[in-house]
Amino acid sequence: MNAIDLRATLARFGMTQRAFARYVRANERTVRRWAEGAQDIPGWVPVMLALMERSLVSFGDFPRVPAVSE
């Protein structure tokens, strides 16, 4: 998965980078770097998004957590 794929997938889900970061308990800056192509996207991200696209898991399956401080 590359940055363009990540942004497109999040857009299909109607999910912002900020919300995605919260759901996966990642730093917002880290997710932004993934989406900009400035940092490699970890292998678990495309796996999780593929499961979500197949409706095997949903964002609702992840606990809502407060934003990670920078």
Residue 28: CATH number of its domain: 1.10.260
| 67 belongs to a structural domain | no
pLDDT score at 68: 47
| 8 belongs to a structural domain | yes
| 70 belongs to a structural domain | no
Which structural domain range is residue 36 located in? Answer: 3-61
pLDDT tier for residue 14 given thresholds of 50, 70 and 90: confident
DSSP string, 8-19: HHHHHHT--HHH
pLDDT tier for residue 32 given thresholds of 50, 70 and 90: very high
pLDDT in tens, 35-52: 999 999 999 999 888 888
Task: Give the mean model confidence (pLDDT) for residues 63-70.
Answer: 48
Helices 28-36 and 3-13 cross at an angle (nearest 10°) of 120
Distances (CA, A) of 21 to 2, 33: 17, 11
| 30 belongs to a structural domain | yes
Of 27, 54, 55, 56, which is closest to residue 42 (Cα–Cα)? 27
Query: Cα dihedral angle (21, 26, 32, 33), rounded to 10 degrees?
Result: -160
pLDDT score at 58: 61
Domain tally, the chain: 1
Kindly report the pTM of this predicted structure. Answer: 0.74
